[in-house]
């Protein structure tokens, strides 16, 4: 698989076909839905594509279940956008998990390198409210749950969810290994650290 994804002509990204968390963003989700809708209109069977949305929802639910099972009341998130290097929150799958934790009454904190209190995401917020009205609590709470640094999130939470595999997040988590529970959704390290309280998906 590592050799396969090195191709840069047919394979657009080294992340394609790699295990990981649910997909999101402004393009792929709506395009998958469009293909499913078009295929249905044309009476074309597309079982693989039809299953993508269901599998994506299961990944989100699995992450939510992992957090619920910890019983922790202070939950942190490292990464809010659907991928690193962007401030795009549209259909970011982790927002569903944040919403579930807020609805459980958890004390939520979050950090994303591309998002802060001054980030102009009003249009995205309108999109989220319109397309996914059940996420409005997340939109309203976002300005108050943002933290200044990943270390601050790690220091004030009982369990921290990692959704972006950046060097800054990797260093911060490595500095707190064994001191806080981690739910790693993006395979932050080549191998799962052999410490108590570290779990995730993708290994």
Full pLDDT tens readout for the chain, 203 residues: 778 777 777 766 766 677 778 988 888 888 999 999 999 999 999 999 999 999 999 999 999 999 999 999 999 999 999 988 888 888 899 999 999 999 999 999 999 998 876 666 667 777 777 777 888 888 888 888 999 999 999 999 999 999 999 999 999 999 999 999 999 999 999 888 999 999 988 76
pLDDT the model gives residue 40? 95
Helix (H) / strand (E) element for 199: namely: strand 198-200
Render 118-145 in DSSP notation, one character per residue: T---HHHHHHHHHH-GGGHHHHHHHHHH
Catalytic residue chosen out of the listed positions 12, 27, 34, 44:
27
Please confirm, yes or no, whether 27 is among the known catalytic residues.
yes
Query: Where do the domains of the chain lie?
Result: 58-200
- Please tell me the predicted confidence (pLDDT) of residue 118: 67
**CATH number of the structural domain 58-200:** 3.40.50.720
Phi/psi of residue 12, each to 5°? -80, -20
CB proximity list for 151: less than 8 A, separation 6 or greater: 172, 175, 176
β-bridge pairing 107-111 and 159-162: unpaired
């Amino acid at each position: 698989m590592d050799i396969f994804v090195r191709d840069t002509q047919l394979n657009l990204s080294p992340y394609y076909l790699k295990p990981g968390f649910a997909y999101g963003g402004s393009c792929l989700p709506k395009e998958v839905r469009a293909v499913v809708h078009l295929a249905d209109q044309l009476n074309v069977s597309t079982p693989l594509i039809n299953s993508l949305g269901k599998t994506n929802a299961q990944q989100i639910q699995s992450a939510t279940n992992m957090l619920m099972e910890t019983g922790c009341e202070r939950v942190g998130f490292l990464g809010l956008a659907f991928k690193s290097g962007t401030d795009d929150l549209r259909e970011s799958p982790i927002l569903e998990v944040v919403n579930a934790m807020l609805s459980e009454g958890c004390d939520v904190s979050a950090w994303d390198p591309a998002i802060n209190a001054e980030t102009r995401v009003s249009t995205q917020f309108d999109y989220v409210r319109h397309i996914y009205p059940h996420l409005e609590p997340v939109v309203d709470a976002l300005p108050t749950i943002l933290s200044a640094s990943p270390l601050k999130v790690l220091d004030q939470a009982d369990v921290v969810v990692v959704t972006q595999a950046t060097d800054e997040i990797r260093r911060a988590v490595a500095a707190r290994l064994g001191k806080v529970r981690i739910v790693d959704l993006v395979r932050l390290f080549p191998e799962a650290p052999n410490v108590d309280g570290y779990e995730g998906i993708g290994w």
